[in-house]
Amino acid sequence: MLNALKRWLGGPGPVVDLASVEAWALGRGYQLRRDRESLKVLMEGDYDGERWRLEYGPPQRAYIDGLELRMRMELHLPPTLNVLLMTRVLKDKLETAAFERFTKRVETHIDTASPEEMRWLAMYPKVALPSSPPLKQHFGMVSNAPHAASGWVQGPLGERLSVQAVSTLEGVPFVLMTLRGRLYLRMRLPKLPLSLLEEVVELFRLAAERAKEAMLAWEEDSDGSWMSTTSIAWQHDSHIELPLDSQPPPVKPPK
């Protein structure tokens, strides 16, 4: 599959097979719109009551060359919970660019004109990824709430990323991040075959599902630390009364 995909991306042919994409989108109840000439594809859908949006066209980030596929969804996550996962190839590129900007301008901080992705790499601690070799080898992750971020990539999302790390995402600038309660995906794609579009949409849906499961129950304390509201509730109600009928019978003294 990987070799076929590389041939598709590198060979001649249209950037997007709009007829196939439109048929696929309509068959799943998605809306395909063409109200902006600069975009090759503009698609909207619904997942678990939340609207998501997909755009394919000129990049919105300088670190992506050529065409960019991007998605976003409002998840109502804690608005200050910032999580950034990206492929190593992009992480190394942004860290190098940030270092050069820092040293040339003799600054003591990363300026606010830099994208969040670059500033967060300098600001936030690294997150330990699950012990899957492909995941640890191909991705890097930072967050201001490391435990919440780690829970996000445990299980199905980490497994899916591990598989795609050595197929569709190998060497590709790719970002998954939460910002102001939303989930975002960005990746560089010179062409958009339908098979890859399906994979990206399913990956994004899985990331959204896991984000709601793993990160909704976290809140920021006044000192900037993060804690799970689930564990707080447990701590506040740690004493549990046993029903009377479950109490052990009294021990009779020996005669």
pLDDT tens per residue, range 188-245? 999 999 999 999 999 999 999 999 998 888 777 765 677 877 654 334 444 445 455 5
- pLDDT (0 to 100) of residue 237: 43
pLDDT at 252: 61
Range of the domain at 163: 74-218
pTM over 0.85, yes/no: no
* pLDDT score recorded for residue 232: 43
Residues of the chain under the 70 pLDDT cut? 1-13, 34-37, 101-113, 222-224, 230-255
> Where do we find the tokens 């598709």?
8
186 within a domain of the structure (yes/no): yes
Domain count, the chain: 1
**Dihedral (CA of 157, 149, 142, 219) sign:** positive
What's the token pair of residue 176? Answer: 């998954």
In a domain, 63, yes or no: no
d(CA 55, CA 176): 15
pLDDT of residue 146: 92
Give dist(CA 253, CA 255) in Å, integer.
6
Report d(CA 195, CA 207) in Å as an integer. Answer: 19
- The answer as to whether 197 is a domain residue is yes
**89 lies in a domain?**
yes
Contacts of 113 (CB under 8 A, 6+ apart): none
Q: Is residue 206 part of a domain?
A: yes
How much helix, strand and coil, in percent to the nearest 5, is found in the chain? 40, 20, 40
Answer yes or no: is 64 within a domain.
no
Would you say residue 47 lies in a domain?
A: no
Q: Does a structural domain hold residue 61?
A: no
Instruction: Please say whether the beta carbons of 71 and 202 come within 8 A.
Output: no
- In single-letter form, the type of residue at position 63 comes to Y
The pair of three-digit structure tokens given for residue 49, joined into one six-digit string: 């009551």
For position 250, what pLDDT does the model report? 60
